[in-house]
Amino acid sequence: MLAKIHHPRSDTDNLSSFQESVETATQTFFHAICEQKNIKHFLFGISLEKIYENMKIHGDFVVLKPEKYYRDIISQTAPPGLQVTPNQFEDIFTCLRDVLKKQRFLKKQIPKLASYIIENIEETRALIADAEPNILRSHEVNNETICAMFNKSRAEARIDQYNDVYVPSGFNYPFWTRVNKVSKEITFGAQAFPISSSVNSIEIHNISEQANAKLGNFFMEVDNRTRHGPILFSLHAIKYQDAVPKRMLLRAAREFSSAFETAVSMDKHNYLKSALN
C-alpha cells in the first residue's frame, strides 16, 4: 500500500526512503502516545520493533479505502475487546495526524498514512492477544486453507472447476480468490456480465470510469474480448511473505467485494448482471 501512497518529492524521492520516513514518523508517534497517561495503554505490551516487523510482513494487506473514508476519524479495526473508547481513539488519531504534519508529509498522504499505521498497530495488538495464532504461515497458504478461512468467517466458499476459491455469498458481491505460491500472491477477482452480447462496450466503460472516479481504491476494467460481450471486472493482488494475517485478509476481501458492488450499482440502465445470475 505504501507504494500507492508514495509521491516523489525532493526529500523522499524513492519508495525505500519513503518507508524510512514512515518508520521515523511511527517512532515519534509511539513515543508521543507513551507519554500521555490517558491513552498510553493503546500500546501496552507491544514494542516498536514488533510494529516495524509487522508493517513489513503485513503492510500490503492494508488496502486503500474510498476517498470519503479519509474525511473523518477512521474506524477501529481491532477486535471489540481490544478497542479503546471513541474519545481515546480520536486523541490517538489526532496525535498521529499531528506527527505526520510535523514530519512534512503531503496533505493528501496524511489520511492514508494514518490509516496504514493505525491498522498495522491494531493488528499487532490483536496478534499478541490472540488465544491461538490467527495467521497462516507461508507454507500453509493455498486455495484450500483460504477456502476454509472464508467458510469459518460464515461466508460460503468452495473450490471451483478452475481450482480457484469462489465465494458466492457472505460478502457484498461474489468474487474469486486465487493463490499463486510461486509469486507469493493472493488475488481477488470479480466480474459482472452484460445482459446480452449486444450491449455497447461504451456503456460498460462509462460505468468503470464513474466507479474509478468515485472509489479510488480498486481499479475497474472492461474486457471486450469475450463471447458474452463487454464484461466489467476487477483484480487485486496482495503480496505475502512469511505469513498471511487472516483478519487483514478478510477485511481486504470485504473491501474489495464492497467496492465492486458499488461499481455495479452505478449501472442505472441495467446493462449488467451479477456473476450469480
Domain boundaries, the chain: 2-129, 135-273
The mean pLDDT value for 206-217 works out to 92
Grid cell 523522499 in the structure block, residue: 12
Which fold is adopted by the domain 135-273? Yope Regulator; Chain: A, (3.30.1460)
C-alpha dist (Å) from residue 56 to 22, 127, 242: 12, 15, 10
Q: Which pLDDT tens digit goes with each residue over 69-87?
A: 887 778 899 889 999 999 9
Say what the pLDDT of residue 7 is: 61
Q: Is the pLDDT of residue 13 over 70?
A: no
Say what the pLDDT of residue 235 is: 97
* Cα 178–Cα 79–Cα 65 angle in degrees, nearest 5: 55
- Residue 183: pLDDT band (50, 70, 90) is very high
Say what the pLDDT of residue 269 is: 93
The mean pLDDT value for 182-204 works out to 95
- Please give the distance of CA 235 from its chain centroid, rounded to a whole number: 13
Tell me the average pLDDT of the chain: 91
DSSP structural state of residue 158 = E
- Residue 277: pLDDT band (50, 70, 90) is low
According to the CATH classification, is domain 2-129 in 2.20.110? no
